[in-house]
Structure 1
Amino acid sequence: MSFLENDTASKERFNLLLLDPGEIYFEDYSVFYYPSGLPEHEAIKRKQRGHLKICSKSVVFVPKESQYPILKFPLRYVTEVDEWSGGLFSKIDHKDKMIKVACKQTVAMKEKNILSPYVFIKEPSEHIFSLNYVVVDDCLPQICQLHRASTLPHTEQNAMINAIVLSRRSRVKFNTSWLEDLYENIVLETQGDRITPLVTNPGRIMLTNKILYFQPFNNIESIPVIKIRLKDINRLIKRRFLLRQIGIEIFCKDGSPCTHLYLSLSSPELRNDLFFKMKEQSDLDLELPGQEDMTLRWQSGNISNYEYLMYLNSLADRSFSDLTQYPVMPWIISDYSSSHLDLNDSSVFRDLSKPIGALNEERIEKTRERYREMPEPKFLYGSHYSTPGYVLFYLARIAPEYVLCLQNGKFDQPDRMFNSLLDTWQNCLEGAADFKELIPEFYSPDHPDFLYNKGVTNFGIRQDGKPIGDVDLPPWACSPEDFKQSLRMALESDYVSSHLHHWIDLIFGYKQRGEEAEKADNVFYYMTYEGAVDLDSISDPNERARMEIQIMEFGQTPKQLFKTQHPQKFQQPCPQSIVQCTQEPKERNSPTPENSDDMLSTDTDEDQTHSTTTVFDMQELNNLELFHQYTLHKDSVTDLCLARDGRNIFSVSQDSFLKMYSLEEQRQLRSVNVSSMALSSCQLLPDNLTIVVGSWDNNVYFYSIEFGRILETLIAHDDAVSDVFWINKILFTSSWDSTVKMWSFTPPSPSNPFVPAQFVGQLDHESGVNCQCIDSNCQILVTGSKEGQIVIWDIRSMYQLTEHNLHSSKVNAVTLSHDNKRILSSGEDCYLKVLDIETGTEIFVKDLQDQIMCFMWCGDLLLTGSNSGELQVWDMDRGQVVVKKSLHLDAITCIDIGNNTIVTGGQDKVISLWKL
């Protein structure tokens, strides 16, 4: 979306772009204008009907007939403004109706309604106006007050204008006759500004329980009051405006009368008040922002690189409505001279690990030398990669009026305009002060017209005698449409996908600031960074004005989104139509690859359970049906496991019993009172004859199915055992005593009698360990604590690798992804999160408003059991629930899978079997 899509103001002959940036338009009066420098009879004959616009820094006459130019009288050049009297015999002297404006410089604009550079008439002149419907006293005092302000120094002038604006605002109330419904309840009324590119228009904001209203203080809008029905709003975003958190951007559904509105308020408190009061209204039904899963979806290939970059721009307060924070996109291609673009050739791509300013080694070395000799605060680049001027440099052909507004009524020199892709790229590589990146229009599928000159605007003649025409494209592009398509293909290419995270680190991430920015040659002037300047704390008006100009003209660095390295995109998304479910013994860890080596011994994987495979057709998941239910326990079921032949289910409970249930006979085969306290976890070992059970009595029990007795009681911990897991002859036991212990244990067999477990090592934590997960290669252990920490351990060295505070309270469950690169966790705080291990980035964060108590991988699907008793099937590549089944009356606490069967146990004491 370009800001020009919703641009209606510039289509009107008079609009706020004709004023200085930030200038306020107050009101207008119907007048006749008598052209200056003519005899009276001739002036009467040529009088022009029109409107006199009173603005904070100028008076503007807009003739009704478009053949005449709009005349602007900057107040700083006005020498006199007063009531005019033509003398005794004057035929144009209307008592109390005449105003004279004497000016040293007049600006003529849009003659014959042709947009061209303004004409500055630098000679004294007098201009006579007769008021049609009011008298002199109705408008002259206001003009004189503004004229007096123009004679003051810049900061004092702005202070006086602000006082005038505040005075007018205090006198203007919202006109309640514009309310659409007598039964609307007024929720909030306040003052605010409507923000559009280069323009700020003050007005009155009214929020009711049904509609948001904006009433401008002037009549510049095509409708007197902008109305947005709350039910039409689908996105509501807080924004940073001029480095202050005072903006709010509103997006509406397609087909809404008003599709977009950007407002700024006077303080963060007022902005937040409006934001939260809007969210409290029942009519407001916002789309889920999707922010919690966008990185995961991008990594998995479910959204494009373009979509992800646009998402990051929005998250970093970049908006099409604010040219100082326009969305920024990277240069991708470095070859603009070849006749053919080969996207399989890595040499045609720009190095995304370096900022634009560091791509040329000779230039960056000179820049570093200057940086080393510079006093604090140091910076490498005096200009920025995104400024209003750079945005309009690219868009001049479709936004010429914005260019004239920004550049004081002038176009740039023809040879300095955006004439050639090759020349622009070369200048970005070699220019002493040119470090600009690109904008979304280069990659969006629509709007190739910014590369065309449709001949409506005359931008001038270049030194080679050619007029400014279309942008010169590289030889490999036959048209602007073909050029944009090639750029988009390059942006989505494998090379860019595998390197784009480096550019994200520079623009939005950990290389944006501090020591890492210095290492990456990515240091800009300190005032471009969020938080570097607190404008509200600056009392000196001169200093504040200087900083506001710096912010407006020299660019702003996006909000920093990532403090650690951004994860890399996966090369290929996982298949979506069919997924394979691999059953491991008590598989709460990641799915097993083909080869998994024991990192603590030289044993092969023959001691591990041989997996069986169940194929789930995605289209058949909704046919998941309840097959059987039974209740054997007298308290909550805490864990269960399904025998590999699918005939028996083993379960443990807080009632301290281990139960064995036959699915064929549908009856209980064993009931063992293992302990005097609750049992927490169980696992059937590969011999199919031994079950390991953890208990709240601090012990681990080894129960023989064959002999029907407990083979060993292992006094394992000083507090309750929360989980047991065996893999590759190593038993891992976690406990509320803040430890995980490792034990060497080989399951008994006819040739190997039972040998008690031997202690191997201990991993100390700062709080009780509630859950654990081991990767299939037995290299990494992940634990979840009772205080919300996720800790990652190297099993061989028994060394803690990293710790992450992912949850605000107890971690209910953890597991690893297929490739062991991501950790998925759920917590008592109702959040489901995915952590990228390499970078420490939370790539998926979702508040479910309900706890996930347990989960288990099934190929690319994740089965979860919720606190409300709902079995959910998640497609984690998309971060979406694809199936929901409810039968348990209380929390689902455990899940196991095998032989086209899903088994769940709950706090309602029930065990349920689900079949496809």
Structure 2
Amino acid sequence: EVTSPIWSGNVLAYTEGLHGKWMFSEIRAVFSRRYLLQNTALEVFMANRTSVMFNFPDQATVKKVVYCLPRVGVGTSYGLPQARRISLATSRQLFKSSNMTQRWQRREISNFEYLMFLNTISGRTYNDLNQYPVFPWVITNYDSEELDLTLPGNFRDLSKVRRPLATQCDVEKREWWTNSHFKCEWCSFSNLTYFLSLANNNKFDHPDRTFSSIARSWRNCQRDTSDVKELIPEFYYLPEMFVNSNGYHLGLREDGNMICDVDLPAWAKKPEDLVRINRMALESEFVSCQLHQWIDLIFGYKQRGPEAVRTLNVFHHLTYEGSVSLDSITDLLLREATEAQIQSFGQTPSQLLIEPHPPRSSAMHLCFLPQSPLMFKDQMQQDVIMVLKFPSNSPVTHVAANTLPHLTVPAVVTVTCNRLFAVNRWHNTVAAEAAMNNLKILCTKLLFLSANNTGSNKRQITDLVDQSIQITTHCFVVTADNRYILVCGFWDKSFRVYSSETGKLTQIVFGHWDVVTCLARSESYIGGDCYIVSGSRDATLLLWYWSGRHHIIGDNPNTAPRAVLTGHDQEVVCVSVCAELGLVISGAKEGPCLVHTITGDLLRALEGPENYQCPRLITVTSEGHCIIYYERGGFCNFSINGKPLAQMDVNDSTRAILLSSDGHNLVTGGDNGIVEVWQACDFRKLYMYPGCDAGIRAMDLSHDQRTLITGMASGSIVAFNIDFNRWHYEHHNRY
């Protein structure tokens, strides 16, 4: 079922009992897909990051369906226009048209993000096991008690296929296959996953074929000529996949050992260690400088043809795009047999490029101009970039650093306790550039412009808020394009939208129940659209949808919320929303934090220790790291599935926390005026900045994760140079 009047019942024929309902307004991307090597499928991505895949009779139907769907393309986050022709483009056309490779080269996106992009445009999808996303093995040492990520020997050579040890045999086989009609050096194109064997009466697969040990799987890949498995993305973000939490009986191996949880490497004491270290290895310089060579093998010019033969990278011919046309097979039995073979062998990704993939640029280091001599005691010049003092002495209680260069106005928006706000424009100007051993050194200057607070453009929110509301960073949200500021706490039970350019009120959204006490937004990923969550004094959470074109929109003309989230029994004081996970995490004055889906379902409570009962700050990443700060100095780190991972107590009254984009580093600041950086997984302190002479009320990171901007109780903002990689190598060389 599809809720649109333009949808023709003749286009999509439903099978008995197979149906669903998706709102057209929720569609964010439409990709052409293959099914059984035929270009007859579509995958539709929703606003909550879920997706659904349809297979149609032929390509003509696919085109007709695309022109009935909204004109969203494949998402502007890939640097492509919102056009239906983009949804119908080939994988190679998408690759050539997108700017993602350049962004990866400039290190604006991570290795993980770039690999997910390549998988997505090449047809890999979570909705088809034969085309599941594929990631590389990067670590080779699964036996040592400690893993040194500074040793090249612990990393795989990504320029080569993981050939088994019988090299001479492989060379002989290659010569024979080269002179034969049927060439196949590896029997299948597969990645490492597990599943129910439908051919075995819905029972689990044979125990000796079940994934049960990471070290054994790696050894098999080195020794078995028929085992060419790579990894799946979950190895880099989902520790739960290694735990048999349901206690399923998976059988006995031939050696008599019962299969239960996956056996971890010696250097990983728990699944969270494995995923964290795997991810750190993936993002390391050893991998970054050679990842393009693995891309050549899987997605690029070494995937097929003479280069594939030379590198022993040839698969069964029924794994390749364009190798067979099922419609041309008139014999029903032969067609069924061919389909079965395709399903058995898996499918190679669509070939994205026929020339070598460009390498990633070397890591760039920023050399900042001298900073202001104000405010600091025993400061270290490499830490503080600049200090800007506003005329008002009101504490800067909210900071939003939306500094992406493609924005119309890249800026740091600040709001003070008396609701005076400024759009401090962000300019990156290259003062010097030197090239030595392919290393670029950029000197960057930050120029902030203060707000114009005179005349008709006075930028102060003068509307009266409820006198009992304490003004904190949770009272404000700045949209991703810096054009609007959302403010809550008004006596009439509303939150309001103001233009950051003029300061004028543009929209009033009523909370419907009680005074709105806190706001949060998800990261924007297309056209400024995002989710807004409002928490109220009556313990209710409301989910709204922000459209960059239409402001807050609801399910009807009266701007009703998209979902009502219940479960708290006291005033909601803090909230965070993650669109990528489709989750909302919220905290009330007392009691546990709650996890809801964005559709309103209550999933679980995040229970801290007995004395951790008053949550005040929450931050969460797309990888599922959730850190909560409690009143009186307690911190807890939870997995998104509710598992407590670490805790600590600090003496400072913390006012602001944030996580780095990869979720590995936590930054905190509070009344003592000291910014501290911690390793999020175990709260080990990595770095402490020089103390300021005023408390810290708010913080945010620039888009490149290189600059930390803090709002001070004295009415100033301070910009710090931040270098997560440097601290990682200084403090954590061994694992």
TM range (shorter): 0.3 to 0.5
TM-score computed with the length of structure 1 as normaliser: 0.38
**Comparing both chains, which one has the higher relative contact order based on Cα–Cα distances under 8 Å and sequence gaps of 6 or more?**
2
TM-score computed with the length of structure 2 as normaliser: 0.47
Name which one, 1 or 2, has greater alpha-carbon Rg.
Answer: 1
